[in-house]
Structure 1
Amino acid sequence: MDRFEIEDDDFVLNGEPFRILSGAIHYFRVHPDQWADRIHKARLMGLNTIETYVSWNFHAETPDSWTQSGRADLDRFLRLIQAEGMYAIVRPGPYICAEWDNGGLPAWLFANPTVGIRRDEPQFIAAVTTYLNRVLGIVAPLQIGNGGPVILVQVENEYGAYGDDASYLRKLTDITRSAGITVPLTTVDQPQDDMLANGSLPELLKTGSFGSRAVERLETLRKNQPTGPLMCSEFWDGWFDHWGAHHHTTSAGESAAELDALLSAGASVNIYMFHGGTNFGFTNGANDKGVYQPIVTSYDYDAPLDEAGQPTAKYWAFREVLARHSSLPAELPAARVPAPDFSVPLDRAVSLFSVADRLGSWSWSDGLPSMDELGQYSGFALYSHEIDLDRVAVLEIGEVRDRAYVFVNDSPIGVLARDHHDRSISVPAGRGTLSLLVEDQGRVDYGDRIGEPKGLIGPTVLDGVRLQRWGVLPLDLRSLAPVDAALDAGADHPRSLSGPVFARGHFSLAAVQDLFLDTSSWGKGVVWINGFCLGRYWSRGPQRTLYVPAPVLNRDRNEMVVLELESAACAEARFVTEANLGHTEF
């Protein structure tokens, strides 16, 4: 069997020095039927290795569940890497950041406030042990010494930016080794003395994360690690986007020059990202450094391979650099075929309020439960309270996480937005039902606010009186069967959409291929095609299209369901020839 190890300042494969030329592809951000295509294009660019994070909350949505099929089939992903003749790096966290919901940590992990996250605390270590044993049970048989592709496994992730609990890192290392991992173990931190010191152990290979000043940062890494191979295991070649900001891009020429400098210094590399993919469904993360900023659906990242898997200018610039340092295949990726441009009428619509009772069960409480307390870890919940006001009153809420549409008797009266720090709203005089449709827009993935519960966070006060007796209905949108049944009897051929409303349309295709759904004329909401949740859209931008992967489509009949939360002047969907991820920084 093959051997991969560290000797002096080199990675060594079967006794010969080996330079890792890796690119990041997160299997959970790419449709499984497109994994092989993305991996193949990585090899054609000149890479020899694929790196991926593993997202704990993607595999374990609840404490008692575990999924490793479909989009969560890590075993299949690693075997496809091997089939392409490439090697693999696995980074299982448990924390991954990755601009992913909650940094990959399951929300249910935070239900007990005594659990000590990312430190040597018995309850956390017990949960991590179970998780790592499951993941590494997939990885261990696929290590290079067992005939598989895996050559490195990472311990934690950028831990030096978070803590300095060496005992915690040592326990993770012991768990990893006990699970049968024999390949070299690594850590990654930004090349600062304190982070590199706090985020690793002497027996673990330190690697760096940076995207500029490569030579200088490799020198810092070498100062903190006198021996061992130099590696930038996150070479940042782009960045992610927030709703309401601009689309981030970086210069292909400048990124290529930094890559050349890094390789000329003899270092190994993992390009982050080679192919970013998409935050399908409700999987996007968020940041909060005083202002809450949810991350958009696209994770294009301005990477060498764009969101739809097509080579960009950066792909060709990187390929040219890699040709100076290694041998490249003669084959080139096939030219892109433009997507079709067409429109689809949304010919049925039904109010969310009319179907809500079919999407979950009400629970009533004298307090104000969070969504997490009801086991709703993403998506939406409907809060309800009966009111009887003889004059206009002000509703005050402790905190909204993250966006609440406020209604009286199903008529809208306003919005409370976390990113605007909204906590109060005027409620008109009258009697009836006060409802708040609350959206979890994505959990913070970095910093102190990881793990915070979602929903309405009390107290709630109306006209100076603290409200009791709340009803909460978590909306289960995993299956749209109840929505479809309601749409069958819903309004026919609506001219416009006044949210919150579900709308539906059908279309056929001349050929099955990737599509781009133009959302620029809609307000805010979510789209499903053939039951597959493409993710969120928002007029706030910058993103103006949603990527539709070809494997979710049929030739003869496709069903599209839109949940429009705000409004759309025309009940029509438009598909366009290419992606529009919005304006860049002026």
Structure 2
Amino acid sequence: MKATGEFRALLRNLMDSSNFTLLEISYNHAGSDFSTEWKTNSNRIWGYFRVHPQYWSDRIKKLRASGANTLETYVPWNLHEPQRGVFDFGNGTFDMSQFLDVRRFIQMARDEDLLVIFRPGPYICSEFDFGGLPSWLLGDPELKVRSSNAAYEARVKIYFDALLPLVTDLLWSNGGPIMMVQIENEYGAFGTEDYPHLEYLKSLMEQAGINELFVTSDSPLTAGDKGALPGVLQSANFYDDASGQLAALLELQPDKPVLVMEYWSGWFDHWYEPFHNARPVAVFQENLEVIFNNFNGSVNYYMYHGGTSFGFLAGANVIPFFPNYLPDVSSYDYNAPLSTVKYKATPQIM
């Protein structure tokens, strides 16, 4: 695998090319060298808000040592605006304040020569309370979340106006590590197909000065292109059947690189389940080999390091049979590679 410094130089050359745009990546434009580098682009996901900041440096160093060249993170709106109009980016007095210096987190990734994929939502899922949306949004009976509802989009704009300026100097185009930004999250699975809302979110990011590679993420076999936008790279989220998922992705965008935004390295646990969800290393490796060898793809491990959903921040799942509501446990261990034998298995495949 090429060194990250060479990878950055390659991306910069491609961005400066007159016949290449980050919003229209294709193998024909990028050439075989970019295709090869994209194949070996191995990334890791963990949320800074689930790990005490005293451990950030340790976890990032271990991430880099595993062979990764990119760190990916969500950004939880409910923690950064815990009260309407009151923002906390690590300088507040709330219980979680010390976990919320997202700017410092990204700078620490840069110091380890890592690229960054930035996923600001505003909805993030992540088995987090209300999918990372602030609970106080529910106080407005006219507000409809994740839609082009005027009341909702007004609050998103206020939040993005506070968040995005904190990281604009850390964008790739400004010499920083953030080279990719995700729009919303698994919007195709939400089922509303409110494309004006996705366009609105993209416009807010562009107005903030973001012109990096935009991306959406969904499971192609089930969502198709329902959460996609023209000119925005689609990526895949899945647990298994890498062949089926990525074949479906290529049908949707045959001229684009293959990116797995979330390859689910394990799974989360619910209260009262009689077992801890764990994924055999052999199955984990099999899907990775398909991603790399059969589809020349890049992959993000969701999760690389799970951490903890502190307090009452763990999310829940709704199912169509008893007991209908499945609350997630506080531990977000996720059977993630850092704390399992998968950590040592990964570089062997790469």
Asked whether the 8 Å contact 1:10–1:228 carries over to 2, the reply is no
Aligned equivalent of 2:179? 151
User: 2:165 & 2:253 partners in 1: Cα distance?
Assistant: 31
How many Å separate the matches in 1 of 2:309 and 2:165? 26
Aligned with residue 195 of structure 2, among 149, 163, 166: 166
Whole-Å Cα distance in 2 between the matches of residues 89 and 143 of structure 1? Answer: 10
Q: SS state of the match for residue 281, structure 1?
A: coil
Partner residue, 1:177:
206
The structure 1 residue matched to 2:236, chosen from 195, 201, 208, is: 208
Q: Percent identity?
A: 39
Find out whether 1:59 has 2:59 as its counterpart. no
CA distance in 2, matches of 1:138, 1:21: 26
Aligned to 1:305: 338
What is the letter of the counterpart of residue 289 of structure 1? I
Aligned partner of 1:248 in structure 2 is 277
**TM alignment of 1:352-391, pairs within 5 A:** none
- The range that moved more, 71-80 or 288-297, is 288-297
Contact 1:188 1:206 in 2 (8 A): yes
Letter of the 2:312 partner, please give it: F
Q: Which runs of 5+ in 1 are unaligned?
A: 307-311, 323-586
Instruction: Please give the root-mean-square deviation of Cα atoms over the aligned residues, in Å.
Output: 1.8
1:95 aligns with 2:123: yes
The CA deviation string for residues 109-150 of structure 1, in whole angstroms up to 9 with x for no partner, is 110111121111111111111112222212221011211110
AA paired with 1:188? S
Say if 1:89 and 1:63 are closer, same or farther in 2 by CA, change over 3 A.
same
Indicate if the aligned counterparts of 1:253 and 1:317 stay in contact, CA closer than 8 A: no
Aligned-pair CA distance for 1:9: 3.1
Match of 2:65 in 1: 44
1:140·1:179 contact (CA, 8 Å) conserved in 2? yes
Does the aligned pair in 1 maintain the 2:27–2:34 contact within 8 Å? Answer: no
Match of 1:334 in 2: none
Task: Quote the offset at 1:247 in angstroms.
Answer: 0.9
Confirm whether residue 68 of structure 1 aligns to residue 89 of structure 2: yes
1:274 paired with 2:304, answer: yes
In structure 2, the residue matched to 1:9 is 27
Alpha-carbon distance between aligned partners in 1 of 2:157 and 2:282, rounded to the nearest angstrom? 44
CA deviation vs aligned residue, 1:48-92 (integer Å, no higher than 9, x gap): 000000000011111021000121000000000000011000111
The 5-angstrom pairing of residues 510-549 of structure 1 reads none
Q: In the alignment, which residue of structure 2 is the partner of 1:23?
A: 44
Q: Secondary structure at the residue paired with 2:225?
A: helix
Higher normalized contact order (CA 8 Å, seq sep 6+, divided by chain length): 2
| Aligned-partner Cα distance in 2 for 1:275–1:26 | 8
1:220 to 248, 256, 267: 248
TM-superposed deviation, 1:215: 2.0
SS of equivalent residue, structure 2 residue 167: helix
* Length-normalised TM-score, structure 1: 0.52
Using the alignment, how far apart are the partners of 1:40 and 1:12 within structure 2? 30
Larger Rg computed on CA atoms: 1
TM-score (norm 2): 0.86
The one-letter amino acid paired with 1:300 is: D
SS in structure 2 at match of 1:90: strand
What letter is aligned with 1:263?
A: F
8 Å contact kept, 2:46–2:72? yes
How far has the Cα of 1:220 moved from its partner?
0.4
CA distance in 2, matches of 1:79, 1:88: 10
Secondary structure of 2:337's counterpart equals coil
In structure 1, how many angstroms separate the alpha carbons of the residues matched to 2:30 and 2:105? 24
Distance in 1 (CA, whole Å) between partners of 2:82 and 2:121 is 16
The one-letter amino acid of 1:57's match is N
Q: Give the Cα separation in 1 of the matches to 2:139 and 2:122.
A: 17
How far is 1:289 from its partner?
A: 2.1
Do the aligned partners of 1:276 and 1:301 also contact (CA within 8 Å) in 2?
Answer: yes
How far apart are 1:16 and its partner, in Å? 4.9
| Counterpart-to-counterpart distance in 2, 1:192 and 1:16 | 27
Give per-residue Cα distances to partners, 1:272-316, cap 9 Å, x unaligned. 00111111222111122252221111101000013xxxxx21111
Q: How does 1:389-468 map to 2 (within 5 A)?
A: none
Query: Quick one: distance in 2 between partners of 1:11 and 1:111?
Result: 49
Is the alpha carbon distance of 1:169 and 1:136 closer, same or farther for their aligned partners in structure 2, counting shifts above 3 Å? same
Name structure 2 gaps, 5 residues minimum: 1-7, 16-21, 91-97
Task: Give the whole-Å Cα distance in 1 for the aligned partners of 2:100 and 2:28.
Answer: 33
Shift of 1:267: 0.6
Task: Flag the 1:12–1:48 CA change in 2: closer, same or farther, 3 A.
Answer: farther
SS at match of 2:118: strand
Contact persistence 1:9–1:230 (CA under 8 A): no
State whether residues 76 and 132 of structure 2, in contact with CA within 8 Å, keep that contact through their aligned partners in structure 1.
yes
Q: 2:153 aligns with which of 105, 113, 125?
A: 125
Equivalent residue letter for 2:198: L
Cα distance between partner residues in 2 of 1:48 and 1:11: 23
Q: 1:267 is aligned with what amino acid?
A: G
Partner residue of 2:327? 294
Distance 2:302 2:337 in 1: 10
Cα distance in 2, alignment partners of residues 139 and 203 from structure 1? 23
The verdict on how the C-alpha distance between 1:138 and 1:12 changes in structure 2, with shifts beyond 3 A counting, is farther
**Larger fraction in helix:** 2
